[in-house]
Structure formats: structure tokens, C-alpha cells
Amino acid sequence: MPRILVIGGGIIGVASAYFLGKAGFEVHLLEREITLGALTTAASLQAVRAQFADPVNIAFMKESLSFYETFAQQLDLPDHDIGFHQQGYLFVTTDEAIAARQRDRVAFQHAHGLEDVEYLEGEALHRRFPYLAGEALAATFRQRDGWISAHEALLGFRQAARRHNVRFHLQTEALSLIVRGGRVVGVRTPAGDWEADAVVLAAGPFTAQLARTADVELPLQPVRRHRVVIGEHDAIPHWAPMTIDEDTGAHWRPEGPGAALAWAEPEAPSPPQRHVSPDPNFTFRVMEGVYRLCPFWLEVAETLKRDNVFLHAGQYTVSPDHNPLIGPVPDRPGLWVISGFSGHGVMAAPASARLLADLLAGRVPEDDNPYAVDRPGLEAAEGEKMVL
Ligand SMILES: Cc1cc2nc3c(=O)[nH]c(=O)nc-3n(C[C@H](O)[C@H](O)[C@H](O)COP(=O)(O)OP(=O)(O)OC[C@H]3O[C@@H](n4cnc5c(N)ncnc54)[C@H](O)[C@@H]3O)c2cc1C
């Protein structure tokens, strides 16, 4: 039985370990920290959507969301609840040109198998979402999008993976890859060397750094992103969908009796970090950002108590086209990667991990892999720039 080492126990590594174990491999997952899922996965807004604008991404995210919809059955964990709130995703604009693009995008999505996205404008939009400001002109909406608990999903994958004899090794840092005869044959840890037939890098922001220890340069860059969580507040409509200002990218969604807010502001790439320091001013900027289209945020901001605001930061692992790199690393046999999810790793985890396992098991030919590490045009690509 081929032996595989998965490096990194975020949602991507743990989902990968599950699908690889299910495919019959002997799998060991190495995680540096004392617990799984403590890095980028813990900083996520945990939102999931199929509303993409590229046919490959649409199909991929549909697969992932269907998996999340039936998570307990898929993994045979009858009582496992990942808290999937299908309250929808609403992309809103005040701009005529963007509204026209939204209309075209919805037609394109319908033509590519995503028939349940709605295009809304004027009265119909405001009747349905009365918390929106008068300037809101148009929006796209899909009810089946929403958010999950990434933590519960990760724990479900771990439990199911254990049934396939996957072993989880916490506090086990991969210091470097071991290369012999041009091939990656294992990893070096402080407690000794681990040999394997294949090593899968699922180390989030640390993926490129680890690849470099085998003289491989992956086009991945960590970029800091923030999240603010507001505790209980009466002014927040708790039934609302994830609401995105498509003109600026500022967005928020309900979170229990409060809300979670984020905004992918332009920021230069930074070295990978185990503890990402947030910018304290982000809270003010993001509240200003979401207020533009949702005026109730002014009331929240004016009455907000300091101990009711929780600011976090993590790092997106960004690829040139904002799509993941999944599969074997060219010219370095034995080395595989599953990373570069930008803002989409939680939503993409089930389909990505399934694809990785199918590629490793030879069930999907490399030519049919849309996220290949050496896909044509990756470096020059624009990709889907809705990096929420
Ligand atoms: C603010 C913010 C909001 C986001 N919102 C969303 C969202 O709404 N929806 C969505 O789908 N995605 C979102 N994302 C992106 C999502 O969080 C990531 O794409 C996803 O968590 C990536 O998971 P991962 O397992 O690849 O990485 P990580 O969660 O970073 O896991 C990598 C793991 O590898 C371990 N590791 C690293 N180096 C080593 C080593 N040398 N040896 C052993 N272990 C190592 C780390 O400790 C870590 O546990 C958001 C991200 C941020 C920062």
C-alpha cells in the first residue's frame, strides 16, 4: 500500500487525508501545532458559494456545496452537524455597468448548470432585502449558498479519516523535504525522518516555503486578510444572506446573534506567519465599508461596545489566477501540492480533496485536471477576481 504524508492539518489537509484514506492509501498527517485547523482555517469567514463566473469553478463548487449539504450521510456520521446556514449569498451593486455584468453573469451561470441564481433589481430587490440602502440598484442571489462551521467540517473529516486508518501526528513539524535521486522521498522532522512514496503539501501559507527545501518554486504568496466578529446586536437582521458590496468588496453575514465582516483590501504579500497581527484600524474601515449599502451598520457602530468586537487576521495563500494548485509538482516526482485557495479553501475543500485523491489513485488522468500546477497561462492569468 503506497504511503502518503500529508503536511498540514487545516481543512484542506484533513479533507485530503480523508479522501486518500478512503482511496486505500496508508496516510499520515503531520501538523506542527498542538491542534488541527488553528491557522488560516480558524480565521475564515466560513462562507460557501457556488456563484462563480467560470464553468470549471461553478462545477467544482457545486460539487463541494452538495457534499456539505449531505455531509453527515457522505461521511456516515449521522449526528454530525456542520451548521450549514443556507441563507444565501447576495452580490449587490449601485453601478449600472456592474448591474449589466451581473445580468450577463447570471445568464452564463444558468447556461452552465447553476440555474438557481436570481438576478434582482429595483423594487423586487428592496422588497426582498429591505435593509439595503436606496442606492442599491441590482443584485444576484442564490439561496443555497451560505456558511458552515469549518471547525465542525474539519472534525467530521478527521473522524471519518480515522475509520480509514489515517494517523494524525500533532506537534510534528516538517522541517524540510528529503530529496534522493531527484525524487522527494520523505520529510525531516525534529523527531527524525519520515519516508513516504508521496508527500502532499497542504501547509497553507507555508506551502511555498516548504517546497523551496526541495528546490521547487511554487507561484504562491501569502497575503494578510482580516475578519471582524461582532457579538450580539439587535440592529443586525439575523435572517440576512452573506451580503457583498460588489462595487467595493466589503461584505458581512450574520453570525449567531451578531455578524462577521470582512474586506479583501489591497495588501502586499508577506512572509508566512504562525501568528498574524491584525491592523486595529480595520474594524473602523470595514464598518464604514459595509455601511454604504447597509445603513443599519451606522447604528451598530454608534452603539458598539469595545468588548463586543473581535478582530482576527490570517493569510490567504494566493496563486496568480486565484485558483488552487492541485496535483503533482512537475519535475519533482514524489511531491504533490494542494494549496493556493486564495479566499476559497473552506468552500473548495471537499471537491479539491476528492480530486487530489483521484489523481493520486490514477482515477483522473492528469490531462483532465483543471488545477494542474503547470496549467497553461497560470502565471499570466487574470482569474476570477471576486476574491471574497
Ligand atoms: C480573513 C479570512 C477569511 C476567509 N474567508 C473564507 C470564506 O469565507 N470561505 C472560504 O472558503 N475561505 C475563506 N478563507 C480562506 C480559507 O480560510 C483558506 O483557503 C483555508 O482555510 C485554507 O486551508 P488550508 O488547510 O490550506 O490552510 P491552513 O488552514 O493554513 O492549514 C495549514 C496547516 O499547515 C500547518 N503547517 C504549516 N507548516 C507546517 C509544517 N512545516 N509542518 C507541519 N505543519 C505545518 C499549519 O499549522 C496549518 O494548520 C478566508 C481566509 C481568511 C484569512
User: In this predicted model, what pLDDT tens digit does every residue of 281-330 receive, in sequence order?
Assistant: 999 999 999 999 999 999 999 999 989 999 999 999 999 999 999 999 99
Q: Given this model, what pLDDT does residue 383 score?
A: 56
The 10s digit of each residue's pLDDT in 67-126 is: 999 999 999 999 999 999 999 999 999 999 999 999 999 999 999 999 999 999 999 999
| Alpha-carbon distance values, 355 to 48, 93, 164 (Å) | 18, 35, 18
Is the dihedral angle over the CA atoms 347, 349, 352, 355 positive or is it negative? negative
Write out the residue limits of the CATH 3.50.50.60 domain(s) in the chain: 3-79+149-220+320-368
Q: What is the CATH number of domain 89-144+222-316?
A: 3.30.9.10
Of 41, 189, 270, 356, the residue with max ligand 1 atoms within 8 A of its CB, to mutate for a pocket test, comes to: 41
pLDDT-derived band at 377, boundaries 50, 70, 90: confident
What fold is seen in the domain 3-79+149-220+320-368?
A: FAD/NAD(P)-binding domain (3.50.50)
3-state helix, strand, coil split of the chain in percent (to 5) is 30, 25, 45
Q: Which three cell numbers stand for residue 216?
A: 521547487
**Ligand 1 contacts CB of residue 28 (under 6 A):** no
Of 36, 112, 111, 51, give the one whose Cα is nearest residue 242. Answer: 51
Percentage of the chain beyond pLDDT 90 is 96
Round the CA-based radius of gyration of the chain to a whole number and report it.
21
**Ligand 1 contacts CB of residue 207 (under 6 A):** no
Please list the alpha-helical segments (H only) found in the chain: 11-22, 40-43, 55-69, 71-74, 96-111, 122-128, 150-163, 207-212, 282-291, 296-303, 345-360
Mean pLDDT, residues 3-25 taken together? 98
pLDDT-derived band at 387, boundaries 50, 70, 90: very low
**Ligand 1 contacts CB of residue 11 (under 6 A):** yes
Q: Distance between CA 47 and CA 137 in Å, rounded?
A: 24
Which amino acid would we find at residue 379? E
Q: Which three cell numbers stand for residue 14?
A: 484533513
pTM of the entire predicted model: 0.98
According to DSSP, residue 17 is labeled H
Write out the residue limits of the CATH 3.30.9.10 domain(s) in the chain: 89-144+222-316
Neighbour tally for 103: CB within 10 Å: 14
The 10s digit of each residue's pLDDT in 219-262 is: 999 999 999 999 999 999 999 999 999 999 999 999 999 999 99
The 10s digit of each residue's pLDDT in 262-285 is: 999 999 999 999 999 999 999 999
Q: Which three cell numbers stand for residue 115?
A: 440555474
